[in-house]
Amino acid sequence: MAFIEVKNKKGTADKTPPSGYSSWLDFWKEKTERKATICEVRGCKGKPTIGGHVIKSGEGNKEYILPMCYSCNNKPEDKV
């Protein structure tokens, strides 16, 4: 499995998911048709409770949503 380096995106706490979705994690599950069973941050085994906004390193500001545990979602931008 290839790993992609990502960073937490700053300033997304007030963003709401699109209409019809109860959370960003719900949005991720529906769009990927997958279950969120573990935090997607490399090396973390936590339970994903949040759909965290991330950006790929070196790709600019295009946002992605990943299932994350609360702790990983609250790390500084450059520490994920």
Torsion of CA 6, 11, 14, 17, to 10 degrees: -30
pLDDT band at 71 (very low <50, low <70, confident <90, very high): very high
Tell how strand 50-56 and strand 63-68 pair up: antiparallel
pTM for the model stands at: 0.85
The answer to whether residue 12 scores a pLDDT higher than 80 is: yes
**16-68, pLDDT tens digit by residue?**
999 999 999 999 999 999 999 999 998 999 999 999 999 988 777 789 999 99
Domain parsing of the chain, residue ranges: 6-79
Q: Which residues contact 79 (CB under 8 A, 6 or more apart)?
A: 8
Backbone phi, then psi, for 33, in 5-degree steps?
A: 55, 40
